[in-house]
């Protein structure tokens, strides 16, 4: 089954991934309503879209009753704090976005007869005891730890989405998004790539948590968005992992960013993060088989594009070629 996207609601549309998703939907000829409360995002992220035909910005919180003036064929739920500093600063709001916000958007999708796509996360796997992580793995999450406000919000959102699918016979899909990076990330959002790039460009030490031996698998934002659209256009319920199976340690990532930026910044080890996963790598066999999707941008190229974008934010430094 192929689902056609003509009029989409993107909740979290001014966020990092959400703004790129809006770009791709508009480029494909769809009309897009981007909904955001700007708690962890900025209108600047989508300023380039404000005058584009078919685009509408709605400033609204998904935990409040939603506008009912449009009949969407697709509803994307990407509305949540996603970086650790944000969800640790906004614990209750993060839980509410995953619970109340998810239900509000599911009810809107039910009213419209929409396909509903939940942007979940690899954090549902916690500190995994199975590697790489397939969708059949149930995870190893601390339900009362500091990170639980994000991990459990997403796990609940998945459960709620499946309950609506079973009980209301809704057309739903769940994407488990692994670490994604690229232009438009906030320089101070606390995640590895923007933090290391900002520090390297400023000549500051790169702050590596713990030993730096913990691994991540980084997917360039264009690839993640292609995966979201492929899942949205399919009839697959998910969950489906979307990520790059190339695994790299945090220390290796810091070294690669200093090489690309031609920075002499040293590495400074700081305290490990509580409940920080030791390894993180997706099994993307299901996405390959069901969606025909795989990442196409390799890490060196994706980091080069990201560094070039961040370098433009620092007027005293010449942009990289």
Provide the annotated active-site residues. Answer: 150
Q: Check: CB of residue 214 under 8 Å from CB of residue 249.
A: yes
Q: Is the peptide bond before 132 cis (omega within 30 degrees of 0)?
A: yes
3-state secondary structure of 84: helix
**Residue pair 78/119 in contact by the 8 Å Cβ criterion:** yes
Helix (H) or strand (E) holding 3: none
Alpha helix positions (H), 56-140: 84-89, 91-98, 100-112
- Give which of 190, 199, 169, 180 is closest to 123, Cα–Cα: 180
- d(C-alpha 170, C-alpha 287), whole Å: 21
Q: Which residues pair with 8 in a beta bridge?
A: 32, 74
C-beta separation of 59 from 36 below 8 A: yes
Annotate 275-313 with DSSP letters as a single string.
T--S---B--HHIIIII-----S-HHHHHHHHHHHHHTT
Helix and strand totals (H; E) in the chain: 10, 13
CA distances from 298 to 20, 99, 197, 222 (A): 18, 35, 17, 11
Closest CA to 119 of 1, 218, 188, 21: 21
Radius of gyration for the chain, computed over Cα atoms and rounded to the nearest angstrom? 19
């Amino acid at each position: 089954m192929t689902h056609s996207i003509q009029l989409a609601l993107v909740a979290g549309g001014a966020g990092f991934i959400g703004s790129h998703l809006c770009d791709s939907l508009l480029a494909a000829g769809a009309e897009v309503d981007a909904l955001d409360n700007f708690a962890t995002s900025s209108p600047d992220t989508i300023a380039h879209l404000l005058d584009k035909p078919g685009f509408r910005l709605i400033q609204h919180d998904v935990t409040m009753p939603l506008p009912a003036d449009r009949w969407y064929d697709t509803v994307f739920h990407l509305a949540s704090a996603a970086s650790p500093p944000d969800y640790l600063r906004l614990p209750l709001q993060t839980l509410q976005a995953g619970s109340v916000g998810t239900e509000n958007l599911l009810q809107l999708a039910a009213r419209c007869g929409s396909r509903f796509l939940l942007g979940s996360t690899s954090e549902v796997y916690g500190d995994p005891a199975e590697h790489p992580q397939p969708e059949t793995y149930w995870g190893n999450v601390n339900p009362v730890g500091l990170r639980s406000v994000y991990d459990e919000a997403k796990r609940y959102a998945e459960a709620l989405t499946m309950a609506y699918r079973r009980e209301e016979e809704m057309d739903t899909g769940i994407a488990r998004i692994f670490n994604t990076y690229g232009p438009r990330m906030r320089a101070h959002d606390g995640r590895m790539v923007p933090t290391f790039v900002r520090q390297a460009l400023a000549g500051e030490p790169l702050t590596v948590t713990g030993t730096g031996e913990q691994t991540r698998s980084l997917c360039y934002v264009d690839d993640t968005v292609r995966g979201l659209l492929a899942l949205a256009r399919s009839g697959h319920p998910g969950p489906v992992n979307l990520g790059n199976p190339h695994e790299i340690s945090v220390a290796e990532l810091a070294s690669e960013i200093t090489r690309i930026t031609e920075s002499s910044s040293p590495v400074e080890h700081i305290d490990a993060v509580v409940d920080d996963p030791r390894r993180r790598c997706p099994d993307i066999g299901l996405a390959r088989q069901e969606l025909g999707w795989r990442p196409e941008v390799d890490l060196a190229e994706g980091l080069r594009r990201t560094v070039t974008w961040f370098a433009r934010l620092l007027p005293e430094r010449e942009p990289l070629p």
